[in-house]
């Protein structure tokens, strides 16, 4: 099969197009003929390497996968060969307290395809059958591949962690990213007023079309001053963050009393400094969030089918252009997602 593999960490040259044998499946696994995948910041980190983190090299990157069942193990009953499917990326043990309570992303053995094991940048992918969800004919492979990670991540942040409700002011930091565009839509779905930050006026216009009520161009405006102006100095109820260090202090200071900062990443760095006076005086909550529960993907897929949620797809490229796809995301030239098709 054709695939992308990383043998050593580095720049775009580390992404190699290779041909290897397809994976073999166990009785409780499914072999998927991948039709579409997408680029996430996680793919950049797997390629570049992270100090103190060991990735199993060589590795096939790619966290999102949508395709067709090519083969199934003898113990698999809920899908058949030829079925259209999407993959739930998080693999857990299935039998610990967290898994049995439906909180599989809290499992101690939780791992992601494309990070802890071979991923979706390949013609074929093998995963446990419990990670395979049938995909409606109304949802394209490209839409599914652009949606699962970012919408699942944003859903947990907004719905489960921050518990956004109608009338809340939500500041979506980095609104033009994949998870940012998902966060804007989900916050609007739950009745919030959304203030989104981005780097250009052109991107700001795209975010307005997506549903953002207000936008802030952080390259020429002070985010904190604009938040204070837009909220009559009260601050926002929720900050939705995946950027980290570069914006951490202004995120904390942008919150209203009793507000919540929910974070799922640190693309600008993880060693952020917190002025604790704001934390205890304003009685704010700082909430960490990673991925989400597999079961919530069913709700998200229902929303995609009905059109109440829709991924923003900026580029669709063939797998052979994986280096260009990484370059676009690394340079921040996109709004939403960059999808690879096979």
**Rounded mean pLDDT, 99-115:** 96
Residue 196 has pLDDT above 90, yes or no: yes
Q: What is the mean pLDDT of the chain?
A: 97
Q: Which helix (H) or strand (E) holds 252?
A: helix 248-254
Phi-psi region of 238 (alpha: psi -120 to 50; beta: other; left: phi over 0): beta
**CA 194, CA 6: separation in Å to the nearest integer?**
39
**Rounded mean pLDDT, 24-45:** 97
Q: How confident is the model at residue 21 (pLDDT cuts 50, 70, 90)?
A: very high
Q: How confident is the model at residue 51 (pLDDT cuts 50, 70, 90)?
A: confident
The per-residue pLDDT for range 283-333, each reduced to its tens digit, is 999 999 999 999 999 999 999 999 999 999 999 999 999 999 999 999 999
Bridge partners of residue 261, in order along the sequence: 239, 286
The neighbour count for residue 337, using CB atoms within 10 Å, is 28
pLDDT reported for residue 33: 98
Q: Percent of the chain scored above 90 by pLDDT?
A: 98
**CA 280, CA 285: separation in Å to the nearest integer?**
9
pLDDT reported for residue 309: 97
Residue 225 has pLDDT above 90, yes or no: yes
Q: How many helices (H) and strands (E) does the chain have?
A: 10, 17
Residue 52 has pLDDT above 90, yes or no: no
pLDDT reported for residue 293: 96
Residue by residue, DSSP assigns 263-280 as E---TT-S-----HHHHH
**Rounded mean pLDDT, 80-88:** 98
Q: Is 283 exposed, middle or buried (0-12, 13-18, 19+ CB in 10 A)?
A: exposed
**Rounded mean pLDDT, 142-154:** 98
**Rounded mean pLDDT, 39-66:** 95
**CA 217, CA 176: separation in Å to the nearest integer?**
11
pTM for the whole structure: 0.95
ω into residue 190 within 30 of 0, thus cis? no
The per-residue pLDDT for range 251-262, each reduced to its tens digit, is 999 999 999 999
| Domains of the chain with CATH codes | 2-135+312-341 (3.90.180.10), 152-288 (3.40.50.720)
């Amino acid at each position: 099969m054709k695939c992308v593999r990383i043998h050593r960490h580095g720049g775009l040259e580390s992404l190699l197009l290779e041909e290897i044998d397809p994976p073999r499946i166990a009785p409780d696994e499914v072999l998927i003929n991948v039709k579409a995948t997408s680029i996430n910041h996680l793919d950049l980190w797997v390629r570049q390497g992270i100090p103190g983190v060991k990735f199993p090299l060589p590795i096939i990157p790619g966290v999102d996968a949508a395709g067709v069942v090519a083969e199934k193990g003898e113990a698999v009953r809920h899908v058949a060969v030829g079925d259209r499917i999407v993959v739930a990326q998080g693999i857990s043990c299935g039998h610990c307290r967290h898994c049995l309570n439906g909180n599989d992303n809290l499992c101690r053995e939780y791992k992601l395809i494309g990070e802890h094991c071979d991923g979706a940048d390949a013609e074929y992918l093998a995963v446990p059958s419990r990670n395979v969800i049938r995909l409606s004919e109304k949802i394209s492979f490209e839409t599914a591949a652009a949606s699962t990670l970012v919408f699942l991540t944003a859903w947990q942040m907004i719905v489960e962690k921050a518990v956004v409700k109608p009338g809340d002011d939500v500041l979506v930091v980095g609104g033009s990213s994949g998870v940012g565009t998902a966060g804007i839509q989900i916050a609007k779905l739950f009745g919030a007023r959304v203030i989104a930050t981005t780097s250009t006026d052109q991107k700001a216009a795209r975010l307005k079309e997506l549903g953002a009520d207000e936008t802030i161009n952080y390259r020429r405006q002070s985010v904190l001053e604009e938040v204070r102006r837009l909220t009559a100095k009260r601050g926002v109820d929720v900050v939705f963050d995946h950027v980290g260090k570069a914006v951490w202090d202004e995120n904390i200071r942008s919150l209203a009393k009793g507000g919540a900062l929910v974070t799922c990443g640190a693309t600008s760095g993880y060693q952020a400094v917190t002025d604790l006076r704001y934390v205890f005086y304003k009685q704010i909550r700082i909430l960490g969030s990673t991925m989400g529960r597999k079961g919530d993907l069913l709700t998200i897929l229902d929303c995609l089918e009905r059109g109440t949620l829709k991924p923003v797809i900026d580029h669709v490229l063939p797998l052979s252009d994986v280096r260009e796809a990484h370059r676009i995301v690394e340079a921040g030239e996109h709004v939403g997602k960059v999808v690879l098709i096979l």
